[in-house]
Structure 1
C-alpha cells in the first residue's frame, strides 16, 4: 500500500506582542467589552453575553473560530480569548490574535499577541498590530513605563518637554523603544509621524522633536546619538547618555527621494520585532489560561461526576493538550529556522562588510603614504578649540579611531588644556601611524611613531600593571558594537592632574575591527596609583 503524504506542518510566526496597564473606572470590564466588540465584527456568532466576560467557543470549522475563557478568584481575575482571521488575499494564511486581560490587587494588565500561520506559500508580509488596540488606547487610560499611551505622537517643543523626554529616555526600567523624529528643516521628513504612530500604537513611544530641542539633544548625547533634520532614530531600552552604543540605536536619514509609508516599513519592523523578541512572559498566553480554567473545572466536577464521565473529561483535556503542544512545537521550530536563516545571512553580510572595510582602509593608507612620498600635503586643520572637538574630529580623523560618546562630551566640557593643538597632534599620531602599525607592524612605522611621539612629548603605556585591576574602575569601560571593552592603554603628556598642563587619552585596540576605541579624554582617571 502506498503511503499517504503527510500534511505540511504550518509555519507559525509571532508578528507583534504588546502589553500595557489600564486605569480608570472598571477597566477590566471595559477592556473586555471593547475587545469582544471587535471580535464580534469578525464573527457575529459570538454570543452577546460574551461582552460580560462569559466563556465561549464558536466557529470550530468556520472562517473565524473564536474562544474565550475566564478564571475568577477573590484576589484576581483573568480573561483570555483567541480568534482566527483568514487572510483575504493569500490562501492558506491566517492571522491569529490572542488577548489576555488580568486584574490583581486593583491593577489591570492587558496583553495581546498577533501570530501569522501559513500553510502554503511563505510570502512576506508587513508586521502590524491588531486594529482594536488603537480603540482601547484611545478610549481607556492606558500606560506603559509610567507614561500615558496614545495613538498620536508626543511633541517636544519646550525645555520642560525636553527634560521629560530625557528622563524617559534614560529610565532604567523602560520596556518600550522610543522612536524620535527631528523637525525637518532642509529636507522632507522621513515619514508621516502621525500615521506611523497609529501603526505602532502601544508598541513604542513616538516623539517628534523641534529643531531647537534637537540641538540640546546633540549637546547631551553627542553627534553620533542624536537625530536631526527630518531623520529618525530608534532608542532601545537601556539607553544611557554617557555609555550608549550608536549601533544599538539605529538611525534612518531623510533624503529627497523615497519617503512616507515605505520609508516607515523598516522602522515598523524594528519596533514590532523588539516586542516579539522579549517573549510573552509579561502575561499568560490563551492556552495557559484555558488549561488553568479546565483544571479548575475538573476539580469542581470531580466531586459529583462518575468515573466514566471523568475519563471522558480527561480524554478531552489530553486531546487539547496534544494540540497545544504540537502548535507550540511548530512555532518553536519556525523560530529556530528563522533565527538560523537570519544568523547565516548576518554572518555573510558581516564578512562582506569586513572585507570591504579592510579594503577601504588599505586604500586610504596607501593614498596617504603616496601623497607624502610625492611631496603632496593633506590639508590639515589644527585643533584650536576643545569645545568643538567632535566637529573637528569628524572632519579630520579617519575611521581608524572611534570615540565613545562619553569621551566626546568629556573633552568638550573639560576644555582647559592650554595647548589644544597638542591633543590634536596626539590624536593624528594614533590615526595616521599607530593604528596602521598595530594592523601591520613594520620597522618604518615604528620609527615614525617613535620620532613623532618624542616631538610631541607623549608616551603610551598600560593603565595598570596587573590587568585584572582595571575592572575595579568602571570608568575605564566602554560599550562598542554592543560589547563591553576596557581602555587598558593611555597616552600621556605631563604629570599631575591639573587639566591646564596635562592630558590623558584612554583607549584600547579592537583587534577584530582594527580600530582604536577611545573611551575617555583629556582628564586624569583614578587608578591604583592615581598619578
Structure 2
C-alpha cells in the first residue's frame, strides 16, 4: 500500500483558516452553533486534515473509505465528502479485488449478455453494477443484455410502449411478464401514450440528443449513487450514536441501582450498630473497656496496638470518660465527616461529652518532628486531631487520632495520656 506523509504546517494553516471563516460567519449571522457542528469543529481541531493533494493520495491508497477515515482520524462521512469534492475513490472501494481474472471475466460477461444480464452477474460476484460495467468497458466486452427474449428491438419496443394503453396490456400482447416491459420502459426512458412519430431528420436529431441525454442521465445516476452512499454513512454514524447513548443510559441505571443497594446496606449496618450499642452495657473496668474496643467498637474506629499497649500501662484510667470519647468518635465524629449528620447535631453531641475536639498541635508542620505519628497499614499517618478532657495528669484523658477520608475511618494512634514525645514512632 502506498505510504504517505502529512504536511503538518499546511494542514494547521488550512485548519486555522477554516475555523476563522466559521467563527466569522457565525458572528455575522448570529446563529448559535449546534452540538453536532461543535463536535465537528472539535474533531477537526484534534485531527486537522492535510492539503488537497495529500488528502487525495490517502484516499486513493486506502482499501476503503473506512480505512482512510481511520488514518486521518475523522469520520467516514467527512472522508466521503472530500473524496467526492476531489473526484477520487479508494483503491478497492467498489470491490475490484473480488473480480476474477480478465479472461475468465470476459467469458462470464459474454454469457451474461446472452442470459441473465449484467446486473445479475454483478449480484453473483458481490460487486456493484457500476464497477462491473466499468471493468467490462476496460476489457472491451459489453455484458448488458440488449433485448430480452420475446421482445422486439429497442426502436420497435420504444414505439410499442409509447403507443400502448398500458404496460400490462402490452405485456399480455407480447406474452411476457409485466415487469419486463416496465424495466425496458425505464431503460428506454419512455412512457405509454407518448405517440412518438419520427421522421428521418428527427431521428438524426434525436440520436445526437440521445447521446447527450444518456450522458446527463449517467451523471445524474452517478450523483444519486454518491448521495445514497453519503446517506448510508450518515445513517451508520447515527446508529452508532444511538447505540452509545443506549449503553450510557443502561450504565446510568445500573449505577443508580448499585447506589440504592449500598445505601440500603449502610442503613442496615447503622441499625445493627445502634442495636448492638443499646444491648452492650457500658464497661466498668479497663479490661471490659478493652474487650469493648475489640468486640463492639465497630469497623469505623480503629485502635492501633500502640494505643492499646499505652492504655494497659496506665494505673488509673477513667474508664467512663475514655468510653465516652471512643463512642463519640464512632457515633458522631465519623458520621459528621461523612456528612451523615449536620454540624449543629455534631456540636450538640460534642458539648454533651464535655470533651474538646481540637488539633493536636497549633503548628501542623511539626507533627512528624514531635512524634505525633503512627504506623497504619504499612504507612505513616499523622495524628492531626485529638479529644481532650481534664488537665490534672492523673485524671486527664487524651485520644490522638487520624481520619482517613478515602476509607471513612478514624485511626487512634495514642491514648489515654498526653502525647508530647516520640513514643509512637
Same fold, TM-score > 0.5, yes or no: no
Q: Which has the higher strand share?
A: 1
> Which one has a bigger Cα radius of gyration?
2
Q: Could you tell me the TM-score, scaled by structure 2's length?
A: 0.35
* Higher RCO (CA 8 Å, separation ≥ 6 residues): 1
Q: Could you tell me the TM-score, scaled by structure 1's length?
A: 0.28
